[in-house]
Amino acid sequence: MELNLGVWAITIGALAILILMDFVIVSRKPHEVRFGEALGWSIFYIVVAIAFGIGVWLWQGSDFGTQYFTAYLVEKSLSVDNLFVFIIILTQFAVPSNLHQRVLLVGVVLALVMRAIFIAIGAAALAAFAFTFVIFGAILIWTGIQLMRHRNEDPDPMDNPVIRLVRRKLPFTDDYDGTKLFTTVAGARVATPLLFVMIAIGATDLLFALDSIPATFGVTQEPYLVFTANAFALLGLRALYFLLRGLLDKLVYLSTGLSVILIFIGFKLVLTYFHEVFPDSVPKIPTNVSLGVIIGVLIIVGITSYLKVRKDPTAVAHAGRMTGSKERTD
């Protein structure tokens, strides 16, 4: 895709307007989000993402259109796994329900910034050093294996070394004070639990970006499509949280399915590199095949999870991916 700076500027400006709309209209006054509101915003962001994909299809052709939709589906699937960790963080820190929306919105903004940085670095690395495909592939295969190993474990946000350091260095209170990160208690300025929540959300965003960006580059090597697929998947994350939080525990095989997807894309990246080196000997997995595999895995996850919960109502899902990533950073 040959794009000028004007296209990037218009795209980033449109995304900024959507984020600003969230801050000004949706979460200006913290409140508990009801199902109807969450459903409406979820549909809105999905429609916007699909409309953008159709625009790419008509503008750049079916190949790039398919790449965008495949990348979006990968990121949307991984974002559901993010929600498990967000739920654990919000629950463990006992965040008041009326603050959930603001916390998630800040988390989305942080995730967008971090992923934009990683996309720029990844695109430059791929352009300058083709072996980056193998490195990205190895990261995804390793992450997928770790996710499979830790699929029945929940992470502990308090194990985060940054949170431990901040708690040692700053005086803090156990009481929230609205949306304030710092407050005054007995004349002293102290940190509120919301500061630790934001740190935990930011650390989570960083870890997920390390995994999801290589996964998206495994589907398309176009930085514009990688960025927009990530952006549209993340923008709908907040609404999706409120829509699915009562159902997430029922997706008991989601971590297993995502591990399969990550390992598959990892091998696809490795094959991409060797296909460039040995074009006549090593095949390249087409994007439409990748799309079919991802859709098939997600369908199997949904059906098997439903059957498992129907047979055993006590079965619940776990956020093993965070635990797997955490091993890399401790």
Decide which of 210 and 325 is more confident: 210
Give the residue among 143, 150, 149 at the shortest CA–CA distance from 269: 143
Residue 213 confidence (pLDDT) above 70: yes
Q: How would residue 320 be classed by pLDDT, with cut points 50, 70 and 90?
A: very low
Decide which of 207 and 218 is more confident: 218
Element (H, E) at 267: helix 254-277
pLDDT value of residue 326: 40
Residue 317 confidence (pLDDT) above 80: no
Q: How would residue 324 be classed by pLDDT, with cut points 50, 70 and 90?
A: very low
| Count of structural domains, the chain | 1
Report d(CA 87, CA 178) in Å as an integer.
Answer: 19
Q: How would residue 179 be classed by pLDDT, with cut points 50, 70 and 90?
A: confident
pLDDT value of residue 53: 95
Residue 28 confidence (pLDDT) above 70: no
In terms of average pLDDT, the best of 146-155, 235-244, 293-302 is: 293-302
Burial 183-203 (b: 16+ CB within 10 A, else e): beeeeeebbbbbbbbbbbbbb
Judge contact between 147 and 321, C-beta under 8 A.
Answer: yes
Report d(CA 185, CA 195) in Å as an integer.
Answer: 16
Low-confidence winner among 76-90, 216-230, 308-322 (lowest mean pLDDT)? 308-322
Low-confidence winner among 61-65, 113-117, 315-319 (lowest mean pLDDT)? 315-319
Element (H, E) at 75: helix 62-92
For 119, the token pair is 């996309």
Domain enclosing residue 167, as ranges? 5-329
Strands 182-185 and 188-191: antiparallel
Report d(CA 94, CA 320) in Å as an integer.
Answer: 21
Residue 330 confidence (pLDDT) above 50: no
Q: How would residue 323 be classed by pLDDT, with cut points 50, 70 and 90?
A: very low
pLDDT value of residue 122: 87
pLDDT value of residue 54: 96
For 311, the token pair is 């047979």
Decide which of 192 and 153 is more confident: 192
Residues 6+ apart with CB under 8 A from 323: 146, 150, 153, 154, 155
Residues 227-233, mean pLDDT to the nearest whole number: 91
Residue 291 confidence (pLDDT) above 70: yes
For 125, the token pair is 């690395």
Residue 218 has φ and ψ, to the nearest 5°, of -70, -20
How confident is the model over 82-127, as pLDDT tens digits? Answer: 777 777 788 778 888 888 888 888 888 888 888 888 888 888 888 8
For 301, the token pair is 């996850």
In terms of average pLDDT, the best of 13-27, 48-62, 308-322 is: 48-62
Beta partners for residue 185, in sequence order: 188
Residue 322 confidence (pLDDT) above 50: no
Give the residue among 235, 236, 229, 232 at the shortest CA–CA distance from 213: 229
Reduce the DSSP state of residue 236 to 3 states and report it. Answer: coil
pLDDT value of residue 71: 92
Residue 321 confidence (pLDDT) above 50: no
Whole-number average pLDDT of the chain? 82
Of all residues in the chain, the percent with pLDDT exceeding 90 is 16
Report d(CA 8, CA 227) in Å as an integer.
Answer: 10
Residues 46-63, mean pLDDT to the nearest whole number: 94
Residues 155-169, mean pLDDT to the nearest whole number: 73
